[in-house]
Amino acid sequence: MALKMSDIAKLADVSISAVSIAINGGIRKVASCDLIIISDENGIVNRNYYSLPFFDHLVTNLSKSVTGFGTDLRINNLKIDYLKQDLSMLLKSKSITNAIVLGTDLTKKQVKFITNKIQNVVFLDTYFEDLNCDFVTMDNYRATYNAAEFIINKGISRIGYAALAKENANFLMRRAGFFSALEDHHITINKDNFYKINPSELSPIADLNGFSSKKLPEVIFCENDYLAIRIIKECSKLNIKIPEDIKIMGFDDINESQLLSPSLTTVYVPIDQIVNQVIFQLQGQVASSSWQAQKTLIGTKIVQRESL
């Protein structure tokens, strides 16, 4: 029986993307690689990012893919509020030529600064259309546009939206896609059903602002699964039943989404494919002086479970 890439990955204790890279020629000409994680105490990627399943999975797969074929991966953590000072000190302490930057909360100005400091760099989990840089992230706009249509096609028109209070390029793009689909279907969200929640707040009841006393929407779409989990927890406290009283949908398809009761309908993000593409683009920069900046948006799919 022919072995699948997943079987080979399990035997070799590497990610599926690492096997794919090996089959297609390996990681050529990249002697060392730095993973630079930009943390924001008030953002999604904070200093405890490794406790968040999505980012832990992303970093683990990236590390396995790079180190599995003899390339040294050095992990560096920089604070977003001190990015210029931290990066300058890092570059004084060691030479960095090839880097993958996990920069979910980066601004355009900060992306430009990093690009001017490091020769070969790919930005992961962020995207700016008007910057001439290499980006790899999920297609946030199309993902939430499809999510909104998925909801609307179920005959639902009273829709709520849970947004992160700390905004970044990814989540603004998710918001734009979702609201664009609503506009195309002539649906608006009541201002009382638009909730801004602090990403570091474990219990969002204050942010929900009288959630139990207001007329509930039929469904709440959440910008990520963490928000969805917190809202499900509050609904349980308030004896609001899901999906009978209100339906919930998330984004990211973290492992916990399957363990919830009810299990969470969400948007699946193919992390292995993202990691594979990041390494391909960095390899392209290193291998060719004529490499042109590439912006890659990876597609997603909806996973329907019990909450919607």
Q: How much of the chain exceeds pLDDT 70, in percent?
A: 78
Whether the per-residue pLDDT at 247 is higher than 60: the answer is yes
HEC string of 190-257 equals CHHHEEEECCCCCCCHHHHCCCCCCCCCCEEEECCHHHHHHHHHHHHHCCCCCCCCCEEECCECCCHH
Average pLDDT over residues 243-254: 94
Q: pTM of the predicted model, to two decimals?
A: 0.82
For the domain 5-139+269-299, what is the CATH code? 3.40.50.2300
Q: Nearest-CA neighbor of 275 among 35, 106, 32, 72?
A: 35
Residue 29: per-residue pLDDT:
47
- What residues form DSSP beta bridges with 32? 72
Phi and psi torsions of 167, nearest 5° = -90, 145
- What residues form DSSP beta bridges with 134? 122
Whether the per-residue pLDDT at 64 is higher than 80: the answer is no
Residue 286: per-residue pLDDT:
86
Residue 35: per-residue pLDDT:
86
What average pLDDT does the chain have?
Answer: 83
Domain edges within the chain: 5-139+269-299, 140-268
* Tens-place pLDDT, residues 141-180: 999 999 999 999 999 999 999 998 888 888 899 999 999 9
Q: Nearest-CA neighbor of 295 among 117, 97, 123, 61?
A: 123
Pick the CATH number of 140-268 from 3.40.50.300, 3.40.50.880, 3.40.50.2300, 3.30.360.10: 3.40.50.2300
Same fold, 5-139+269-299 and 140-268: yes
- Higher per-residue confidence, 259 vs 113: 113
Give the position of tokens 């990955």.
9
Question: Which of 85-94, 202-211, 271-280 has the lowest average pLDDT?
Answer: 202-211
The neighbour count for residue 252, using CB atoms within 10 Å, is 25
Average pLDDT over residues 44-63: 65
